[in-house]
Structure 1
Amino acid sequence: MERTAVGGVTGSTPAPEVAELLDGLPRQRGPLGAAPVSAPPPLPPVLTEATASGVLAPGTRAFRPWRLLPTPTGTPFTFAYAAVLAVTSLITTYADPDLVHALHQGSSTDVAHLVRTPVLVLLASALWIAGGFLAPYTLGFLLVLTALERRIGGVRTAVVFLAGHVLATLATEVPVGLAVLVGHLPDSSSHRLDYGISFGVATSTGALAGLLRPWLRWPVLVLFGGMLVQDLLNFADPLTNWGHLISLVIGVAMWPVVRRWRAAHTKSVSADRG
């Protein structure tokens, strides 16, 4: 189908002065003798790579909502961990309450268990969500660990999470053990129930903030840190609340490390695509 040219003559070539006026308009292929059609400029390399691979290349910015949640191929560590937490949450919801209490007690990182089986309980305590799968920290786990794993990789994300989980647990439980030892706390304090993923999530949040742009980094830290301080001021569970603040500080302290890891991960992904 041909476009009607100026003057109502189909397929005729416009006069030079008219052609100049129409130079910015899209042209169709005309009959023999028509003005040649200029080839479109080549895409920048980054867009060419994005189009060829079906995804945006590193360095481009586009909001893709599905990338906020874990996937088996994109974020295998977070996806697998979330699946385990879903199973343990179902056990918590539907299993016999006595069995659930026994499992939680056996996974607790209290002083008594840390003295006897430290490695076992430090790992087992991270398999449960305090409050079940609908607890607020569950959403934080999914969003934060997914974002962190996409930036630094699964193994490094696991290191960040476990570092916060272990260090914050020790930072809160060791003083309790010492206080019991010198008689400042009763022996029952050595058997307090302590399990969950919140320390690891708080550390991962702090670490992720260091990889965000400043306009997003500081609001995240202020809002999340403010929430933790408010929980501490409420004095409902001071030991756990202090653990959350310690976890956040651990994550912030890891900024130099996670930034190096992001650079290495980005380089590795680019090499794989190349």
Structure 2
Amino acid sequence: MALSGVPRQPGAAGASGAAHAVPVAASTAVPVPSSAPSAASALARVPRFWRLLPTPLGAPFTFGYTLLLVATSVFAEYADPDLVLALLQGSSTDVEHLARSPLLVLVASALWIAGGMTSAYALAFLFVLTALERRVGALRTAAVFFGGHAVATLATELPVGAAVALGYLPADSLQRLDYGISFGVMTCTGALAGLLPVWARWPLLGGVTWFAVTNLLVSTDPVSDSGHVLALVLGTLIWPLLRCR
């Protein structure tokens, strides 16, 4: 209790001020450096990357098909070579097999990746079909892929059969080894280009066209490489149908 008329001591005032200053300093928050990334912004960037890859809900057709291709590729890598060769020959979409069991070989030939999981067509399959399926849905993506695969196969193999019948090619041309997903991938690539913005459409289409035509010009297998060019053209022809969607 302070007595009236008695001047307050300087030490007492300083002590009182210090006593009141302590809780103020203790309650002051330490500022977070502005350079530290926030957790929210880091999490927001993750979904953008995963949209490039197939997921069970976002791209179920591409996701399931990818698992199937991984399984057949691992089998082809580690199984008995004679067994693998026999299965590939049985899945070949050559003229002889197409004449005998067309539906079976058209489906079976699309279960293998020529060149393995690290080939250019395997990587293109993963990203192109995912992007296409996220835009038009699983059923339309499957229709584009298998439609291009079937049409390009028939359009390249039937002339081989005609050439053999007319005597322009030897008879062993009817039994060539032809399998893989490349025709379907090229068709989906051509179809996807029509759904992209202009700044992305023409670079993609120009680059893939240059790749296909260059391979055709230096090809040792003109039948397959001409099929790649044809499949790409087929994909561009269905732009109106996909844009309606």
Any residues of structure 2 matched to 1:32-47 within 5 Å, and which? Answer: none
Structure with greater helix share of residues: 2
Which residue in 2 is equivalent to 1:113?
Answer: 97
Q: C-alpha offsets along residues 97-122 of structure 1, whole Å, 9 cap, x if unaligned?
A: 00000000000000000000000000
Please say if 1:246 is aligned against 2:222. Answer: no
Which residue in 2 is equivalent to 1:201?
Answer: 185
Which residue in 2 is equivalent to 1:80?
Answer: 64
Quote the RMSD (CA, aligned, Å): 1.5
Which residue in 2 is equivalent to 1:92?
Answer: 76
Any residues of structure 2 matched to 1:60-79 within 5 Å, and which? Answer: 64-79=48-63
Any residues of structure 2 matched to 1:1-274 within 5 Å, and which? Answer: 64-261=48-245
Higher CA-based Rg: 2
* Rounded Cα–Cα distance in structure 1 between residues aligned with 2:63 and 2:204: 23
The alignment's TM-score, normalised by the length of structure 1, stands at 0.72
Percent identity (aligned):
60
Q: C-alpha offsets along residues 129-178 of structure 1, whole Å, 9 cap, x if unaligned?
A: 00111111111000000000000000110000011100000010000000
* Rounded Cα–Cα distance in structure 1 between residues aligned with 2:127 and 2:57: 16
Corresponding pairs, count? 202
Using CA pairs under 8 Å that are at least 6 residues apart, name the structure with larger relative contact order, 1 or 2: 2
Q: Which runs of 5+ in 1 are unaligned?
A: 1-54, 56-61, 262-274
* Rounded Cα–Cα distance in structure 1 between residues aligned with 2:220 and 2:94: 18
Structure 1's 225 and 89: CA in aligned 2 closer, same or farther, altered over 3 A? same
* Rounded Cα–Cα distance in structure 2 between residues aligned with 1:115 and 1:101: 21
Deviation at 1:63, TM superposition (A): 8.0
The alignment's TM-score, normalised by the length of structure 2, stands at 0.80
Amino acid at match of 2:178: D
* Rounded Cα–Cα distance in structure 2 between residues aligned with 1:260 and 1:80: 26
